[in-house]
């Protein structure tokens, strides 16, 4: 009876030790995928993903945040260039109307 109990406990322990790390990693990865998916359908250029931890998933989060930061910077530059082009067009139209 003791042998069966120890064997059962050993099997449960092995299953937990083998599956728990995978479950934790997959859970963090699933959260990252969810957060990135939200950004894909959002216009919020200042949103960032959680990058807590010191593992590969947090490194991926840092890379995603860097990418989002570059996207935000590009968006601001594009908006600024668009505004400058509109102001130039308005000046050009005014010059033509004055002539």
**Domain ranges within the chain, ordered by starting residue:** 2-98
Both tokens assigned to 1 = 């009876």
Matching residue, tokens 């957060």: 35
User: Would you tell me how many other CB atoms lie within 10 Å of the CB of residue 33?
Assistant: 11
Q: Give the pTM.
A: 0.60
Phi-psi region of 47 (alpha: psi -120 to 50; beta: other; left: phi over 0): beta
Could you tell me the sign of the dihedral formed by the alpha carbons of 77, 82, 87, 92, in that order? positive
Segment-wise mean pLDDT, segments of 10 residues, the chain, 99 residues: 82 78 79 80 74 82 88 90 88 75
d(CA 28, CA 25): 5
Predicted local confidence at residue 99, as pLDDT: 64
d(CA 41, CA 92): 37
Helix/strand/coil for 18: helix
Predicted local confidence at residue 78, as pLDDT: 92
């Amino acid at each position: 009876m003791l042998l069966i109990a120890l064997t059962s406990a050993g099997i449960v322990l092995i299953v937990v030790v083998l599956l728990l790390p995978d479950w934790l990693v997959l859970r963090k990865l699933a959260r990252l995928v969810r957060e990135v998916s939200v950004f894909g359908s959002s216009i919020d250029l200042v949103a960032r993903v959680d990058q807590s931890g010191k593992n590969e998933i947090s490194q991926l989060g840092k890379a995603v945040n860097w990418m989002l930061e570059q996207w935000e910077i590009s968006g601001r530059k594009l908006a600024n260039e668009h505004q400058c082009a509109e102001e130039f067009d308005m000046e050009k139209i005014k010059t033509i109307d004055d002539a």
